[in-house]
Amino acid sequence: MFFLFSKLLLIFILPLSWVLAFLIAGLIVKRAKLKQRLLLTSFILLIIFSNPFLFDQFANVWDIKPVPLKGNGQYSCVIVLGGFAGDDDKGNGVFNSSADRFIQGLKLFTTGKASHILISGGNGNLLADSFRESDWVKTQLLEFKIPDSCILIENKSRNTIENTAFSKILLQKSHLQSPYILVTSAFHMRRSLGIFKKAGIDVVPYPCNSMRSSGVFSISKLMPDADVLGKWNFYTKEVVGTIVNYLK
Protein backbone atom coordinates (compact mmCIF):
# COMPACT_ATOMS: atom_id res chain seq x y z
CA MET A 1 0.00 0.00 0.00
CA PHE A 2 2.83 2.40 0.90
CA PHE A 3 4.53 1.69 -2.45
CA LEU A 4 1.34 2.49 -4.37
CA PHE A 5 0.71 5.62 -2.30
CA SER A 6 4.25 6.90 -2.91
CA LYS A 7 3.85 6.51 -6.67
CA LEU A 8 0.53 8.37 -6.71
CA LEU A 9 1.83 11.11 -4.40
CA LEU A 10 4.63 11.83 -6.85
CA ILE A 11 2.14 13.31 -9.32
CA PHE A 12 1.12 16.04 -6.86
CA ILE A 13 4.52 17.06 -5.48
CA LEU A 14 6.36 17.89 -8.69
CA PRO A 15 7.04 21.63 -9.15
CA LEU A 16 5.58 21.72 -12.65
CA SER A 17 2.36 20.25 -11.25
CA TRP A 18 2.19 23.19 -8.83
CA VAL A 19 2.77 25.65 -11.65
CA LEU A 20 0.03 24.10 -13.78
CA ALA A 21 -2.38 23.83 -10.84
CA PHE A 22 -2.16 27.54 -10.04
CA LEU A 23 -2.30 28.42 -13.75
CA ILE A 24 -5.43 26.35 -14.38
CA ALA A 25 -7.08 27.67 -11.22
CA GLY A 26 -6.27 31.21 -12.30
CA LEU A 27 -7.88 30.65 -15.68
CA ILE A 28 -11.00 29.11 -14.17
CA VAL A 29 -11.89 31.45 -11.30
CA LYS A 30 -14.05 34.48 -11.99
CA ARG A 31 -12.98 36.86 -9.22
CA ALA A 32 -10.50 39.29 -10.74
CA LYS A 33 -8.31 39.76 -7.65
CA LEU A 34 -8.08 36.02 -6.93
CA LYS A 35 -7.42 35.30 -10.61
CA GLN A 36 -4.55 37.77 -10.57
CA ARG A 37 -3.02 36.24 -7.45
CA LEU A 38 -3.24 32.69 -8.77
CA LEU A 39 -1.67 33.58 -12.12
CA LEU A 40 1.07 35.57 -10.38
CA THR A 41 1.80 32.63 -8.07
CA SER A 42 2.08 30.33 -11.06
CA PHE A 43 4.51 32.72 -12.74
CA ILE A 44 6.66 33.14 -9.61
CA LEU A 45 6.87 29.37 -9.06
CA LEU A 46 7.91 28.91 -12.68
CA ILE A 47 10.69 31.50 -12.30
CA ILE A 48 11.93 29.99 -9.03
CA PHE A 49 11.99 26.37 -10.19
CA SER A 50 13.62 27.16 -13.54
CA ASN A 51 16.41 29.28 -12.06
CA PRO A 52 19.81 27.48 -12.23
CA PHE A 53 21.40 29.64 -9.51
CA LEU A 54 18.69 28.91 -6.94
CA PHE A 55 18.79 25.22 -7.81
CA ASP A 56 22.56 25.06 -7.30
CA GLN A 57 22.27 26.76 -3.92
CA PHE A 58 19.70 24.27 -2.71
CA ALA A 59 21.58 21.26 -4.10
CA ASN A 60 24.78 22.44 -2.42
CA VAL A 61 23.02 22.39 0.97
CA TRP A 62 21.08 19.17 0.41
CA ASP A 63 23.77 16.99 -1.14
CA ILE A 64 25.87 14.89 1.22
CA LYS A 65 29.59 15.52 0.83
CA PRO A 66 31.78 12.46 0.16
CA VAL A 67 33.79 10.99 3.04
CA PRO A 68 37.48 10.17 2.39
CA LEU A 69 37.90 6.43 1.92
CA LYS A 70 40.48 4.26 3.61
CA GLY A 71 43.18 2.46 1.65
CA ASN A 72 42.60 -0.39 -0.77
CA GLY A 73 41.12 -3.57 0.66
CA GLN A 74 39.65 -1.86 3.71
CA TYR A 75 36.02 -2.44 2.68
CA SER A 76 34.31 -5.77 2.15
CA CYS A 77 31.62 -4.48 -0.19
CA VAL A 78 30.49 -1.52 -2.26
CA ILE A 79 26.69 -1.24 -2.35
CA VAL A 80 25.32 0.32 -5.53
CA LEU A 81 21.67 1.34 -5.33
CA GLY A 82 19.57 0.73 -8.42
CA GLY A 83 17.67 3.26 -10.45
CA PHE A 84 20.35 3.68 -13.10
CA ALA A 85 19.04 1.14 -15.60
CA GLY A 86 15.78 -0.17 -16.99
CA ASP A 87 14.35 -1.87 -20.05
CA ASP A 88 13.34 -0.43 -23.39
CA ASP A 89 10.17 -1.20 -25.35
CA LYS A 90 11.72 -4.49 -26.50
CA GLY A 91 12.66 -5.61 -23.00
CA ASN A 92 16.38 -4.97 -23.46
CA GLY A 93 18.34 -3.45 -20.59
CA VAL A 94 19.58 0.12 -20.99
CA PHE A 95 21.41 2.60 -18.79
CA ASN A 96 19.78 5.95 -17.96
CA SER A 97 21.02 9.37 -16.80
CA SER A 98 22.03 7.97 -13.41
CA ALA A 99 24.50 5.50 -14.92
CA ASP A 100 27.33 7.19 -13.00
CA ARG A 101 26.27 4.97 -10.08
CA PHE A 102 27.34 1.93 -12.12
CA ILE A 103 30.55 3.61 -13.26
CA GLN A 104 31.62 4.65 -9.77
CA GLY A 105 30.70 1.29 -8.24
CA LEU A 106 32.71 -0.50 -10.92
CA LYS A 107 35.62 1.89 -10.37
CA LEU A 108 35.66 1.29 -6.61
CA PHE A 109 35.77 -2.46 -7.12
CA THR A 110 38.34 -2.54 -9.92
CA THR A 111 40.68 -0.18 -8.05
CA GLY A 112 40.63 -2.45 -5.02
CA LYS A 113 38.65 -0.31 -2.60
CA ALA A 114 36.21 -3.16 -1.97
CA SER A 115 36.40 -6.93 -2.42
CA HIS A 116 32.74 -7.37 -3.42
CA ILE A 117 30.12 -5.35 -5.26
CA LEU A 118 26.41 -5.53 -4.42
CA ILE A 119 23.82 -4.29 -6.91
CA SER A 120 20.46 -3.62 -5.27
CA GLY A 121 17.49 -3.10 -7.56
CA GLY A 122 14.47 -4.99 -8.80
CA ASN A 123 11.71 -3.22 -10.70
CA GLY A 124 10.30 -0.01 -9.25
CA ASN A 125 7.61 0.58 -11.87
CA LEU A 126 4.02 0.70 -10.68
CA LEU A 127 3.08 -1.79 -13.39
CA ALA A 128 6.22 -3.90 -13.27
CA ASP A 129 7.15 -6.39 -15.98
CA SER A 130 9.62 -9.27 -15.66
CA PHE A 131 12.71 -7.06 -16.00
CA ARG A 132 14.94 -6.99 -12.92
CA GLU A 133 17.57 -4.27 -12.93
CA SER A 134 20.26 -5.98 -10.88
CA ASP A 135 20.00 -9.21 -12.91
CA TRP A 136 20.73 -7.27 -16.09
CA VAL A 137 23.48 -5.23 -14.42
CA LYS A 138 25.21 -8.46 -13.43
CA THR A 139 25.52 -9.38 -17.10
CA GLN A 140 27.26 -6.04 -17.68
CA LEU A 141 29.66 -6.62 -14.78
CA LEU A 142 30.54 -10.03 -16.15
CA GLU A 143 31.40 -8.43 -19.48
CA PHE A 144 33.95 -6.35 -17.58
CA LYS A 145 35.45 -9.64 -16.36
CA ILE A 146 34.31 -9.12 -12.75
CA PRO A 147 34.45 -12.54 -11.05
CA ASP A 148 31.01 -14.01 -10.42
CA SER A 149 32.04 -14.84 -6.86
CA CYS A 150 32.54 -11.13 -6.13
CA ILE A 151 29.09 -10.04 -7.34
CA LEU A 152 26.06 -9.94 -5.03
CA ILE A 153 22.63 -9.41 -6.56
CA GLU A 154 19.50 -8.18 -4.77
CA ASN A 155 16.67 -8.19 -7.32
CA LYS A 156 13.49 -7.88 -5.24
CA SER A 157 13.50 -4.25 -4.09
CA ARG A 158 11.20 -1.59 -5.53
CA ASN A 159 12.37 1.42 -3.50
CA THR A 160 15.13 2.56 -1.16
CA ILE A 161 13.53 1.09 1.95
CA GLU A 162 13.44 -2.32 0.30
CA ASN A 163 16.97 -1.79 -1.08
CA THR A 164 18.14 -1.49 2.49
CA ALA A 165 16.13 -4.34 4.00
CA PHE A 166 17.00 -6.92 1.34
CA SER A 167 20.64 -5.83 1.11
CA LYS A 168 21.04 -6.25 4.87
CA ILE A 169 19.84 -9.85 4.66
CA LEU A 170 22.16 -10.58 1.74
CA LEU A 171 25.19 -9.02 3.45
CA GLN A 172 24.55 -11.01 6.61
CA LYS A 173 24.24 -14.28 4.69
CA SER A 174 27.49 -13.50 2.88
CA HIS A 175 29.26 -12.74 6.19
CA LEU A 176 30.67 -9.47 4.84
CA GLN A 177 31.68 -7.10 7.61
CA SER A 178 30.86 -3.40 7.74
CA PRO A 179 31.48 -0.61 7.08
CA TYR A 180 30.40 -0.74 3.45
CA ILE A 181 30.73 1.89 0.73
CA LEU A 182 27.32 3.20 -0.34
CA VAL A 183 27.08 4.48 -3.91
CA THR A 184 24.10 6.45 -5.14
CA SER A 185 23.33 9.79 -6.76
CA ALA A 186 24.17 12.91 -4.76
CA PHE A 187 20.52 13.99 -4.64
CA HIS A 188 19.54 10.57 -3.25
CA MET A 189 22.31 10.11 -0.69
CA ARG A 190 20.77 12.02 2.23
CA ARG A 191 17.59 9.92 2.27
CA SER A 192 19.52 6.70 1.64
CA LEU A 193 21.91 7.34 4.53
CA GLY A 194 18.98 7.92 6.88
CA ILE A 195 17.33 4.65 5.89
CA PHE A 196 20.54 2.63 6.13
CA LYS A 197 21.34 4.16 9.52
CA LYS A 198 17.87 3.31 10.82
CA ALA A 199 18.38 -0.28 9.65
CA GLY A 200 21.65 -0.45 11.57
CA ILE A 201 23.88 -0.76 8.50
CA ASP A 202 27.21 1.07 8.78
CA VAL A 203 28.00 2.69 5.45
CA VAL A 204 30.39 5.33 4.10
CA PRO A 205 28.70 7.71 1.62
CA TYR A 206 30.12 7.88 -1.89
CA PRO A 207 27.80 10.26 -3.76
CA CYS A 208 28.02 10.58 -7.52
CA ASN A 209 26.02 11.82 -10.50
CA SER A 210 25.87 15.39 -9.18
CA MET A 211 23.27 17.62 -10.84
CA ARG A 212 24.90 20.89 -9.77
CA SER A 213 26.62 22.98 -12.39
CA SER A 214 30.20 24.19 -12.02
CA GLY A 215 31.00 26.53 -9.15
CA VAL A 216 31.91 29.41 -11.48
CA PHE A 217 29.15 32.03 -11.45
CA SER A 218 27.88 33.43 -14.73
CA ILE A 219 24.95 35.55 -15.85
CA SER A 220 23.48 32.51 -17.60
CA LYS A 221 22.77 30.99 -14.19
CA LEU A 222 20.18 33.69 -13.62
CA MET A 223 18.31 32.88 -16.82
CA PRO A 224 15.36 30.45 -16.79
CA ASP A 225 16.31 26.93 -17.86
CA ALA A 226 13.73 24.23 -18.64
CA ASP A 227 16.22 21.50 -17.69
CA VAL A 228 16.28 22.79 -14.12
CA LEU A 229 12.57 22.03 -13.78
CA GLY A 230 13.35 18.39 -14.44
CA LYS A 231 16.16 18.38 -11.89
CA TRP A 232 13.82 19.74 -9.23
CA ASN A 233 11.60 16.68 -9.74
CA PHE A 234 14.34 14.50 -8.25
CA TYR A 235 14.97 16.78 -5.28
CA THR A 236 11.30 17.34 -4.48
CA LYS A 237 10.79 13.59 -4.33
CA GLU A 238 13.82 13.24 -2.03
CA VAL A 239 12.71 15.99 0.36
CA VAL A 240 9.19 14.59 0.69
CA GLY A 241 10.53 11.05 0.99
CA THR A 242 12.95 12.07 3.73
CA ILE A 243 10.15 13.75 5.69
CA VAL A 244 7.85 10.72 5.31
CA ASN A 245 10.60 8.32 6.39
CA TYR A 246 11.34 10.49 9.43
CA LEU A 247 7.68 10.53 10.46
CA LYS A 248 7.44 6.76 10.01
pLDDT 10s digits, 119-138: 999 986 766 668 999 999 99
Cα-based angle 100, 134, 184 (whole degrees, multiple of 5) = 35
The whole-number pLDDT of residue 1 equals 56
The whole-number pLDDT of residue 244 equals 81
Nearest C-alpha neighbor of 131 from the set 82, 171, 76, 172:
82
Segment 16-20 long-range contacts (CB within 8 Å, at least 24 positions apart): 16/49, 16/229, 16/233, 18/45, 19/45, 19/46, 19/49
The whole-number pLDDT of residue 102 equals 97
The whole-number pLDDT of residue 214 equals 75
Task: Please state the pTM of the whole predicted model.
Answer: 0.89
Q: Is domain 78-208 in CATH 2.40.420.20, yes or no?
A: no
The whole-number pLDDT of residue 213 equals 83
- Which residues of the chain are modeled with pLDDT < 70? 1-9, 124, 126-129, 248
Contact 220, 242 (CB under 8 A): no
The whole-number pLDDT of residue 179 equals 95
Domain boundaries, the chain: 2-63+221-247, 78-208
Percentages of the chain per state (helix, strand, coil), in multiples of 5: 55, 15, 35
The whole-number pLDDT of residue 45 equals 96
